[in-house]
Amino acid sequence: MIVLRNLTKTIQNGTRRVDILRGITLTIPAGQFVAIVGASGSGKSTLLGLMAGLDTPTTGEIFLDGTPVHNLAESALAEVRGSKIGFVFQSYQLIPTLTALENVLLPFELNSSGIEGGRAKRLLEQVGLGERVHHYPVQLSGGEQQRVAIARAFVNQPPIILADEPTGNLDTTNGHMVLDLLLERNHEAKATLVLVTHDAELARRADRKIVLSDGLVVEDTAPVFEEVAHG
């Protein structure tokens, strides 16, 4: 489902070159739950952003479900993101002027030829927000906002869910609820789930744990043989 080959990311900070990722090669099969862990600055969020097509690598290749995304034009990349990826941010990234329902519908409106209000409402009911569909983000707690963000990530029924510290801003109760929602999607829809986290307990629940340090993979608890990706 996700293949990374010799992936690097370098930025120039004034006269100083910063190597964020220094050659990552990974294969993540369909349906696997992967936790990416490591110290702050190890490259976790950068790696996730590259998988999502939110950033471009300096060198290397990225394949999502066989599609090479490392060299796609932005219009084609946006289409792949809309059809294949649901992304959950730590900071929710809801539009403050839109209701919960409108926020969930946003990816559908941007990436599909129609509006599926029924599906969005059902998703909000499934995450326990059936009575909050017309509330704005400012009227919702942090846990409720993150559940709206999860419903938004699910609305296009993507085969890949990427989550960057999705429980980082939440208390224990809401954190467990959010994780259960992600795992439910992983188990029931067989969606591939890749999650960046500092939470050791959360990482232990994953099928596979990948540890980054200084832009390199230093531990992989369930290595798999690289599969051939076809463009």
Q: Could you list the mean pLDDT of each consecutive 10-residue stretch along the chain, which spans 231 residues?
A: 94 88 94 94 93 91 89 84 88 93 82 65 90 95 92 90 90 87 88 91 89 94 52 42
> Which pLDDT belongs to residue 231?
42
Q: In what order do the strands lie in the sheet with 33-37?
A: 85-88, 160-164, 192-196, 33-37, 208-213, 216-220
What sign does the CA torsion over 156, 163, 33, 230 have?
positive
Is the pTM above the cut of 0.75? Answer: yes
Alpha helices (H) along the chain: 44-51, 74-84, 100-111, 117-126, 142-154, 172-188, 200-204
CATH class in words for 31-57+71-209: alpha beta
Task: Give the C-alpha separation, 115 to 109, whole Å.
Answer: 6
Kindly list the domain boundaries of the chain, sorted by start residue.
31-57+71-209
